[in-house]
Amino acid sequence: MDMPKGDAVDRPVIGTGNTARTWRAVVGLALAYLTVSVVALAVTALLRDDPAVATTAAWVREVVVALSACVTVALARRSAAGSPRALLRLRLVTAIMVVAIVVVISVPGVFPVWLRAEQAVCGVLLLGIVLLVNGPTLRRAVRR
């Protein structure tokens, strides 16, 4: 029998009880982050002729956020399926994005107010993921 290679594991991390609920919450928060990001990108596209809404900075930021949300969902799903490497990447990506969002929100004048509000919502969703993937329930599940 061949041993798993690379990112594969021979036991699922998702587990049962609290662990399964926590993984569902992580994936749910990641999907919510993706939804908010895609809606914001769609609004930017629909209002592309309004220079107060669709600034160049807003376009760039929204595209980057939508792509990072796709990566976050993929990492959350792979982590829940048992990939320790995906979990490490999820921990790193979400923490870095929270810091980036704090910067976006706090720098005056670079981004429109609506984008900063949307980023605050994304930041709360990502902070939830950060807290869960670094919390005791998933730390215990991964150590087994």
Cβ proximity of 30 and 73 under 8 Å: yes
Looking at residue 6, its pLDDT comes to 46
Looking at residue 56, its pLDDT comes to 85
Supply the pTM of this predicted model.
0.84
Cα 17 to Cα 57: distance, rounded to the nearest angstrom = 43
Give the pLDDT score at 5.
47
Q: What are 113's two structure tokens?
A: 């107010």
**What pLDDT is recorded for position 125?**
98
Residue 18 near residue 132, CB atoms below 8 Å? no
Q: Long-range pairs for 61-65 at CB < 8 Å and ≥24 separation? A: 61/104, 61/111, 61/115, 61/119, 62/37, 62/115, 65/37, 65/40, 65/41, 65/119, 65/122
pLDDT tens track for 50-64: 888 788 888 998 999
Most confident of 3-12, 48-57, 77-86: 77-86
Q: Residue 76: pLDDT above 60?
A: yes
Q: Spell out a b/e string for 61-98, using b for 16 or more CB atoms within 10 Å of the CB, else e.
A: bbeebbebbeebbebbbbbbebbeebbebbbebbbebb
Q: Is 42 a residue whose pLDDT tops 70?
A: yes
pLDDT of amino acid 98 = 97
What mean pLDDT is reported for the chain? 86
Distance in angstroms (rounded) separating the CA atoms of residues 22 and 15: 10
Residue 7 is predicted with a pLDDT of 43
User: Are the C-beta atoms of 27 and 87 separated by less than 8 Å?
Assistant: no
Percent of the chain with pLDDT over 70: 87
